[in-house]
Amino acid sequence: ETANGALPAKAVATMTAITRNAEEGLEGDLTYQNVWNNTPKPVSPLEAVASGSVKACLDMGAMAMVVYTDVMLPATLVSKYKPPVPIVVVTTNPSVAAHCNVVSGLVPMLLDTVTTSRETMPLVINTIRKLGIADLVAGDDEADQVIVVERPGGANPMVCDTNEDSAVFKTHIIGDEAANLMKPTGYSGDHTISFCSTRIGLDNVVTPSDMVRKTKIFCTMGPKC
């Protein structure tokens, strides 16, 4: 959408209100599934972690996401799956911080140096609070979980877009966990033995398979068997 005229501030404010209202109507799970279904497979290890972190954010009701990186790819991969919360990008690279301003959902946090995520997280949490993303305090009946994507190992948390550096995601719980605040929705599965999660066609049935079967088969035989 574009706009021009003599009142740029009002035009931008109007666009901001429209986009904010539009985002309120997005269904996070459906949006995620649509992106995932239309992503060519197999994905890279880095994208697998990025998509998994967004799915965890949706399933756990996290209030924010954090990505430690000095290159754009990890942050843009997380943004690609459209999490319903802002993504704070912790970086020491001014170019990455600048580019974050034009990518959906990314909020740059430029630091001079980053030691470990454990030492940096208090500063990140404080920034999340100052920006009004989340209060992250116990006892307010709101979830206080933050999903963090970082390089494994603990010494240097900055993720790079190379196979050697890879990435992991973890959860920081600052106050209350969503699972302890909200009653689970949907069918609990108390009376269900199994759920169908496969697509079976005639070709699957009639084509011989050399795969070693790992699934146990239990048959309940009725009078006509």
Per residue in 110-168, pLDDT (tens digit) is 999 998 888 999 999 999 999 988 888 877 777 788 999 999 887 789 988 666 668 99
Q: Quote the pTM value.
A: 0.76
pLDDT at 214: 44
Pairwise CA distance, residues 75 & 201, whole Å? 39
Can you give the pLDDT at residue 216?
Answer: 42
Average pLDDT over residues 55-65: 92
Are the CB atoms for 86 and 108 separated by under 8 Å? no
In the block, residue with structure tokens 């704070």? 88
Task: Calculate what percentage of the chain has a pLDDT beyond 70.
Answer: 75
| Extended beta strands in the chain, E state | 64-68, 87-91, 106-110, 145-150, 168-173
